Chain A
Amino acid sequence: MAAGFKTAEPLEYHRSFLKENCRPDGRELSEFRTTTLNIGSISTADGSALVKMGNTTIICGIKAVKAPEDVPNVDLPPLCSSRFRPGPPGEQAQAASQFIADVIERCDRLLYILLSFHQMYLCWVLYCDIMCLDYDGNILDACIIALLAALKNTQLPEITINKETCTPEVNPAKRCGLHIHKHPVGASFCIFDGSILIVDPTAEEESLSTSQLTVVTDEAGRLCSLHKPGGTSLSGEKLQECISRATARQREIQKLIDKVIQSVKTAQ
């Protein structure tokens, strides 16, 4: 009977839960879904990470190419949800790609390995591909976590200059990691009926919400991005609430990533 009510009147179904200050899947309004992280699963990539937040699954692979742009590409294939059709990337995938590019563009947290020898500068270009395997809402957060974890996991081969031919040579046997200075982590919220704020929305909640908001913070407490693509307006206090919740989330996720990287290192 509840299933029938949910299909016929999805908004009323959600409202009846929100009145009791909880959500259909049993979470509190300000509770995130359990996040699990798995790194190094793709052996052919230089760095990879798989993130699961509830049902939402995002995988990120990084390939390093020696050449003269770091453009993250977010792919939402028909595999992850029935709302995406096959063909060229839709608006949501493109908007997500642009969002991730904006978050990391001015972050200057990657140390590009520069070699200067006889006025020759080389740098690595990292190609990041992010693919969604299961779409259950809140892909922007999961994409950022996957990208960050994959970058921490990336091992670049060492470059030496061959003295005789004066050209750079790649030594795939020796590898060194990247230095990451800043760790941006996002927290997404959505607003119901213009006033109720919920954290980490599922796909159903996203489709019924009147507005969505993503706040990306880094460990210094600075904001890297405040992305609110339209929707009903937001008051100053609600915005402040979101920012404090996002800062708390940043610390949790940073601990999770460090723990996973540490466990991989000790296992090797």
Chain B
Amino acid sequence: MEVCGSSNVSLREFGCEQSLLSRPDGSSSFVQGDTSVMAGVYGPAEVKVSKEIYDRAILEVLIQPKVGLPSVRERSQEQCVRETCEASLLLSLHPRSSLTLILQVLHDDGSLLSCCLNAACMALMDAGLPMSCLFCGVTCAITAEGEIITDPTAAQEKESRALMTFAIDSAERRVMMSSTKGSFSVHELQQCIAVSQKASEKIFQFYRDSVKRRYSKTH
């Protein structure tokens, strides 16, 4: 299990494990502080004729909450994760096929959507699916005093005035996905984007290190 300590952009301790499940083509588990998500990827596989697209693969995302059945909130999170993955995967290499990504929330202590995105990216890498770039998720919360906290816990999220989750791509460090709640000014938005881009560097370095370590062990 890889572990990386928190640093001056104050991300919580995060860790990741790949290939932990035997059935899916790719799987991973991503832990950020106390928030933990497990991801499994199946594909490219057969697709129903009603759903198939002639020139590219179709991606389905399912997010299962820890307790209860998936609700409206999970559906909107699924839409965000799916469109981010579709933009970074090279889907036209697998026409008329389906890719299924399943995310299971093991524990939610804040920054859930960004933990899901990170777990999804690691699982897609583990499955060996061709991607044009990697992506990572970063959550920022703005407190009532105007302070910006990255990777907030559930308690910090509740007290915050605004909460934003961004998906940053690894090629040009631009914003691929954005989902916000609460009101904030344009200046605060730009500050949060800059902070998220800085935090994403750490996460991408972590992806690199963990994959390097894994492959140097087996061969």
Contacts and interface: CB of A to CB of B under 8 A. Distances in A.
Interface of A: 91-92, 94-95, 97-99, 101-102, 105-107, 182, 210-211, 213, 218, 221-236, 239-240, 243
B17 interface: no
Contacts of B86: 230-231
Interface stretch (B37-45, B148-156, B175-183, B206-214): B175-183
B186 A221 contact: yes
Given A226-B178, A229-B83, A97 B184 contact: no
Contact of B174 (A101, A223, A227, A235): A235
Given A102-B181, A106-B183, A232-B87, A91 B176 contact: no
B82 interface: yes
Given A106-B183, A227-B180, A234-B175, 5 more contacts: A106-B181, A182-B183, A225-B181, A233-B169, A243-B186
B92 interface: no
A234 B183 contact: no
B22 interface: no
Interface in B133-178: 161-162, 164, 167, 169, 172, 174-178
A110 B83 CA distance: 33
B90 interface: no
A189 B143 CA distance: 29
B195 interface: no
Interface string B183-205: 11110011001000000000000
Given A230-B82, A233-B174, A98 B72 contact: yes
A228 B178 contact: yes
A94 B76 contact: yes
Nearest to A106: B182
B179 A229 contact: yes
A230 B80 CA distance: 6
Q: Pick the most buried of B72, B182, B185: most chain A CB atoms within 10 A of its CB.
A: B72
Q: Pick the most buried of A182, A213, A227: most chain B CB atoms within 10 A of its CB.
A: A227
A82 B82 CA distance: 23
Nearest to B160: A106
- Measured as residues with beta carbon below 8 angstroms from the partner, the interface class of chain B is 35 or more
Given A98-B73, A239-B175, A222 B185 contact: yes
A224 B161 CA distance: 11
Contact of A218 (B85, B174, B183): B183
Nearest to A85: B50
B84 interface: yes
Name the prevailing secondary structure of the A interface residues.
mixed
Contacts of A91: 75, 78-79
A222 B189 CA distance: 10
A214 B3 CA distance: 37
A234 B75 contact: no
B94 to A, nearest CB: 19
B87 A234 contact: no
Contact of B84 (A106, A230, A235): A230
Nearest to A228: B178
B183 A224 contact: yes
A225 B180 contact: yes
B181 A107 contact: no
A248 B161 CA distance: 25
Given A91-B79, A98-B73, A229-B79, A223 B178 contact: no
8 contacts: A91-B79, A95-B75, A98-B76, A223-B184, A225-B181, A226-B180, A233-B87, A234-B175
Contacts of A105: 181
Nearest to A214: B178
A234 B79 contact: no
Nearest to B171: A233
B121 interface: no
Contacts of A221: 185-186
A176 B87 CA distance: 49
B177 to A, nearest CB: 5
Contacts of A243: 186, 189
Given A210-B87, A230-B81, A236-B193, A97 B181 contact: no
B176 A231 contact: yes
